[in-house]
């Protein structure tokens, strides 16, 4: 299971609601279930209508054992800054956004085993299906070591 799971059960038990301001800061995540952070409302509407908003992930340390650091669906205003990620090939390989808007990824450090590679910046390739919506994704100054 994910280290942090943000849901919104609006289709079954109705046990949780939307979040409007979440900060995940100064934590160490060691080999959690992946994605380590899952933002996954159970809505059935696709498009630019956000369920969750204002989620900040900053100053954390993540040790991956296979794939994803974060997956988000139907979320706006996501900021991923100043994190250190171990065992990641690239920033776009560990993030997935579906029907998200206003996503900013900057100043993250990626460390790999037995390598010391520095990359100045990355362009985030949006991983989505044809009917998904993503707008305003910015990636700045993420480094790969």
- Judged against a pLDDT cut of 90, whether residue 70 lies above it is answered with yes
What percentage of the chain carries pLDDT values higher than 70?
A: 69
- Calculate the dihedral angle through the C-alpha atoms of 131, 20, 140, 117, rounding to the nearest 10 degrees: -90
Which of 79, 16, 13, 9 shows the shortest CA–CA distance to 41? 9
pLDDT digits (tens, 9 = 90+) for 32-61: 888 999 998 887 766 667 888 999 999 999
Indicate the average pLDDT of the chain.
Answer: 76
What percentage of the chain carries pLDDT values higher than 90?
A: 32
User: What number is the average pLDDT over the span 98-123?
Assistant: 69
Confidence band (pLDDT; 50, 70, 90) for 11?
low
Please report the pLDDT score of residue 14 as a whole number: 58
CB 139: neighbour CB atoms within 10 A?
Answer: 19
Tokens of 127: 């991983």
C-alpha 54/C-alpha 34 separation (Å) is 22
Please report the pLDDT score of residue 115 as a whole number: 52
Domain map (residue ranges) of the chain: 2-144
**Residue whose entry in the numeric block shows the structure tokens 């409007």:** 20
67: left (phi over 0), alpha (psi -120 to 50) or beta: alpha
Confidence band (pLDDT; 50, 70, 90) for 19?
confident
Q: Which of 18-22, 46-50, 73-77, 116-120 has the lowest mean pLDDT?
A: 116-120
User: What number is the average pLDDT over the span 62-70?
Assistant: 85
CA 136 to chain centre: 15
Contacts of 13 (CB under 8 A, 6+ apart): none
C-alpha 20/C-alpha 13 separation (Å) is 21
């Amino acid at each position: 299971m994910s280290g942090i799971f943000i849901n919104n059960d609006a289709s079954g038990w109705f046990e949780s609601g939307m979040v409007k301001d979440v900060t995940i800061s100064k934590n160490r995540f060691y080999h959690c279930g992946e994605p380590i952070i899952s933002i996954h409302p159970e809505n059935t509407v696709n498009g630019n209508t956000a369920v969750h908003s204002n989620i900040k992930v900053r100053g954390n340390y993540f040790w991956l054992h296979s794939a994803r650091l974060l997956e988000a669906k139907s979320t706006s205003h996501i900021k991923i800054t100043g994190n250190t990620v171990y065992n990641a090939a690239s920033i776009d390989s560990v993030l997935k956004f579906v029907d998200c808007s206003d996503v900013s990824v900057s100043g993250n450090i990626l460390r790999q085993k037995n390598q010391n590679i520095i990359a100045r910046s990355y362009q985030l390739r949006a991983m989505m299906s044809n009917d998904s919506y993503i707008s305003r994704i910015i990636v700045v100054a993420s480094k790969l070591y």
